[in-house]
Each structure stands twice: as structure tokens, then as C-alpha cells.
Amino acid sequence: LIRFLFIPQFSFAAAADGSEIVNGKKVPDGKMPYMVSVQNGKGHICGGFLYNEEFVITAAHCDVEKPSHVVLGSNNLNNNKTMRFKIKKCKHEDYTKTTSGNDIMLLQLSNKVEQIKLPESGTNVSPNTKCTVAGWGKTKSDGEQVKELQMVEVSVINLNQCRMVWKKYKGNIPNNVVCAGGYSVKKASFCLQGDSGGPLVCGGMAVGIVSFNYKYNCNYPNLPNVYTDVSKYIDWINKTVKQKKCK
């Protein structure tokens, strides 16, 4: 068994349809060991993160790319230390499209990995909280996906404020989401192409799943990025993990 650091199982409140890390920095190997590269036969398509020794959490919209396996064990996808696991998929039954919400999917690993638990925390995530997002997506809109994990810091944005700003652009914000980054900055610190499904991590907890942004505007996003609020899906996650009926 390989040992990984896990995001604590969730006791908190408070994450585009394809995406990228813009103006981020390389993540040192050994940091963020919970990060997972979701792949198909062509390579990396989405991010994800370990929930326990058998399941990965990612975004439901990643299923359109027909993921077949996940890669973990190193932040560099070219590293020979990476491990590959075939998967079965449990997509949320109410998911239809990103802007309608329920953008969450569980991936059951073909083999278990050994878990190292972190202490649980009841900390609520407040607006302006500094969080991190990481992924192997593009570092610019017209660029190629990277092989080394990138990360960037973003701030959580008040959900009512997020809705009002999106409404000005006739954009829809579904229920059960978190907004962060991509707004009120001179230059984008984060965008989303190839990083879908990865975690929004605040205080050591995965509070969101990268879901969507506005019109794939990655270099200078004018609206907050939207993440699935993990805390709203704990019952579904626990039920799905217990049933183990992924296909």
C-alpha cells in the first residue's frame, strides 16, 4: 500500500467547465499528496482529490471526457513514482450541467491506498478567507497542460455578492456552491481549464470542487469562479461510499 495525506472528512461549511492555473507556482513534490490527476487514454483531463483509501472526489462534468483511470503519488506526472489506478464512476444522479449544480462525482479505485488521517475541524470558511487551488491544467488560455502540479492562492467571496455580480452578466449561480478568486483583481490569479474537479482547500480542508467560470475567460476573468460546496454533499458522499455501486 502507498501512504497518502488525506483531506479531513468534512465537518465544515463554506469550487470551470474545463480550467487552468494562471500565474500560479510549482508545487514542491511531497506537498498536496491528496491531489489526483484524472485521465483518459490521451492523458490528464481533470483534477481530483482523495476522500479515503478507496474513493476520489472530482467534478461530474469531467465524465464527458470518459475518464478511465487516475494517477497519484507524485506532483510530476512524468515521474516514475506515480501510480495508476483503474476506476469506477458514481456521478451525482441529479447532475445535468455545471450551471445547474450538483457538479460532483466519486471515483472508486481499483485498489486501496493507505490513509493517514488529519484531525477534523469545525472551522467555517468566511468571505476573504485565503485558500489554495492546484492542478495540472494550462498556465495560459492558449497554452498546453503542464506536467508539474501548479498552485495559486484565492480568496473566498460572499455568496450573495457573487450572485449579484453574476446576475449583471445574466449568469446563473446554482445552489450549493462556493465562490472564490477571479474577481476584483488587476490580473487573474486563477482560471479553470484542465483543473476541473480539483479541490478548493481552506485551512487544510477541501471545501469546494472546481466547477465553472464565465465564458472560459481565463487571462482576465471578471467574475468569481464557482466551486461545488462539498459540505452540502456529505450525506450523498457517505451513502455512495457505503453502497460501493460505482460503474
For the annotated catalytic residues, the residue numbers are: 61, 103, 196
In sequence order, what are the beta bridge partners of 115?
A: 4
Query: Which cell numbers hold the place of 58?
Result: 472530482
* Beta carbons within 10 angstroms of residue 238's beta carbon: 13
> DSSP per residue over 82-150, as a string?
-EEEEEEEEE-TT-S-GGGS---EEEEESS--EEE------PPPPTT-EEEEEESSBSSTTSPBPSB-E
Distances (CA, A) of 75 to 3, 39, 44, 151, 237: 15, 14, 13, 11, 26
Residue 151: which H helix or E strand, with range?
Answer: strand 150-157
Q: Nearest to residue 180, comparing CAs of 216, 225, 217?
A: 225
Place of cell 476584483: 184
